[in-house]
Amino acid sequence: MTLRLYDTRARQLRDFVPLDASNVTMYVCGPTVQSGPHIGHVRAALSFDLLRRWLTHRYGRVTFVRNVTDIDDKVLANATETEPWWALAYRMEQEFSQAYAAVGILPPTYEPRATASIPQMQEIIAALIERGHAYPAPDGSGDVYFDVRSWPAYGELTNQSVDAMEAAADADARAKRNPQDFALWKGAKSDEPADATWASPWGAGRPGWHIECSAMAKRYLGAEFDIHGGGLDLRFPHHENELAQSTAAGDGFARYWLHNGLVNVDGQKMSKSLGNFTLAKDVLARHDPLIVRYALAAAHYRSSLDLSESSWAEADAALGRIAAFRKRAMRALSDAGAQGPTFGGTGFVAVSPRVPPAFSAAMDDDLGVPQALAVLHETVRTGNSALDRGDVTAAARATSAVAAMLDVLGLNVPADVEGAGGTTASALDTLVQTLIAQRAQARADKDWPAADRIRDAIGAAGITLEDTPDGTHWSIDG
């Protein structure tokens, strides 16, 4: 199948054709590090981690850039006398990195900070002024604005006309030609730290937010690249302004625009400005990181996601079923390997790990992770059925396919129950083992009705017992 992705700019699914099939290029807007990450930030980063992993599976190499906005109005506003803006930015950057790493988000190929690309920003601004698409403020403040009415395509990303847009609120409007014009360069202000300014042809100051990403994307990926990603809330004004200033400066910029849906709380997007956010560190303190990754990945990346306690419980149960199957399969395959040379010295049937065609089809259809997870769980059920009837070869194929799918999804579910579901799985294992011991004692006492009652109670809970020469093992029904 051809990989198809929903392009926000085109407002439709498009066949993905990279500029260079041997190196897919991808830029994702990273955090503005004025404070620590909430769970919505983690969901956004995970969405593009999943895309990156699938692109790597399909094409072999992905150059992935995710920036850090370390100079911004919000960063300056949250700085204190005891913690300067640059120290705050670095501390918050570390919090984001730790949260991402906890849920298995791969580090980017490059992770530039905005403050390291000031010369590149100034080059783009100078080109825009020369082309007649930007102008320095006539009041001598040092501000430079993008002239939105000079660029007929302005508004194409979000399908808006300039007249319908609200005034840009990122700079003082007194020196603007049009209320919608946005800041490319902000002149130095007396109430801002002196070390938050840089020299420029228009006067000392600092960059506007939007020009930062245009400059970093071009610096690390070139004037034209494959994919630009970010949260749905960044489409306007941030991505609209990026697209306008980069293309007006003569660059091809992003060929595909992808946006992930938001995490909602009571029907509103989770955000720091609304105060309805849940910090990532609080979620990770309560739930196993693997559970968090599964729960955040379970909804399609473009859909909104409403998280609740049931979200974590469902993810925990799903991971427990996968782990129980892998444990059971490893034991069966190891036993089979010990019985003859057919299975080789490792104790496993030699099956190359490949994702099933249905899994590939789901992922190729605009990164259909929910449908891909359905294929994963169906394969687990198939594998359990094979184990039930003693078909070791079919079980080997299933466990190999499960391993391949887990690898693509970054769900490194261990082949043991305790490691997969955190405290819930550990507690369940303790309870079931207690019942197994009680059943064994009843059988030893030849109290067959009691033994049957215990087995029936376990079965009613969706748990299968398997009596083997080395003991009784349990698994959750697939």
Looking up residue 35, the CATH number of its domain turns out to be 3.40.50.620
Q: CB-based contacts of 422: which residues, under 8 Å, 6+ apart?
A: 287, 288, 290, 291, 316
Distance of CA 46 to the CA centre of its chain: 1
pLDDT for the residue 64? 98
Same domain, 227 and 327: no
pTM across the whole model = 0.84
| pLDDT value at residue 442 | 81
pLDDT of 335 reads 74
- pLDDT bucket at 453, cuts 50 / 70 / 90: confident
Q: Residue 422 pLDDT > 90, yes or no? A: no
> What would the two tokens of residue 1 be?
């199948």
Residue 21 is which amino acid?
A
Q: Which of 277, 292, 307 is the last residue of a domain?
A: 307
Q: Per-residue b/e over 314-326, b at no fewer than 16 CB within 10 Å? A: ebbbbbbbbbbbb
User: Closest by alpha carbon to 68, among 49, 86, 47, 46?
Assistant: 86
pLDDT of residue 408: 96
Q: Are residues 83 and 45 in the same domain?
A: yes
- Per residue in 18-29, pLDDT tens? 999 999 999 999
Structural domain count, the chain:
2
**How far apart are alpha carbons 161 and 181 in whole angstroms?**
13
Residue 2 banded pLDDT, cuts 50, 70, 90? very high
Among 287, 307, 327, residue at a domain's last position:
307
- The domain boundary residue, chosen from 283, 307, 331: 307
Looking at residue 333, its pLDDT comes to 82
Q: What is the mean pLDDT of residues 163-174?
A: 85
pLDDT the model gives residue 420: 44
- Residues β-bridged to residue 187: 205
Residue 322: pLDDT over 80: yes
Q: pLDDT at position 195, please?
A: 96
**CA neighbours within 13 Å on the CB side: how many for 222?**
13
* Cβ atoms of residues 396 and 348 within 8 Å: yes
Higher pLDDT, 118 or 309: 118
Residues in the chain, how many?
478
Question: What percentage of the chain has pLDDT greater than the value 90?
Answer: 73
Q: Is the pLDDT of residue 75 over 80?
A: yes
Residues 346 and 372 in one domain: yes
Q: Is 78 exposed, middle or buried (0-12, 13-18, 19+ CB in 10 A)?
A: middle
Q: Is the pLDDT of residue 341 over 50?
A: no
Q: Quick one: 409 and 373 in the same domain? A: yes
Q: Are residues 303 and 331 in the same domain?
A: no
pLDDT at site 6: 98
Q: Do 328 and 293 belong to one domain?
A: no
Check pLDDT > 60 for residue 421: no
Q: What pLDDT digit, counting tens, does each position of 362-404 carry?
A: 999 999 999 999 999 999 999 999 999 999 889 999 999 999 9
Residue 338 pLDDT? 42
pLDDT exceeds 80 at position 47: yes
Give CA–CA dist 185/460, Å, rounded: 67
The whole-number pLDDT of residue 98 equals 96
pLDDT value of position 349:
44
Q: Are residues 276 and 320 in the same domain?
A: no
Which pLDDT value is given to residue 476?
Answer: 63
pLDDT of residue 270: 66
Is residue 430 pLDDT above 70, yes or no? no
pLDDT > 90? residue 446: no
Residue-number span of the structural domain to which 232 is assigned: 4-307
State yes or no: pLDDT of 62 exceeds 90: yes
8 Å CB contact between 318 and 377: yes
323 shares its domain with 233: no
Q: Does 357 lie in the same domain as 209?
A: no
Confidence class of residue 347 from pLDDT cuts 50, 70 and 90? Answer: very low
Beta-bridge partner residues of 464:
475
Judgement on whether residues 284 and 353 belong to the same structural domain of the protein: no
Question: Do 227 and 316 fall within a single domain?
Answer: no
**Average pLDDT for 80-89:** 96
Q: Do residues 96 and 124 share a domain?
A: yes
Do residues 411 and 402 make contact, with C-beta atoms less than 8 angstroms apart? no
Q: Average model confidence (pLDDT) for the chain?
A: 89
Q: How confident is the model at residue 165 (pLDDT cuts 50, 70, 90)?
A: very high
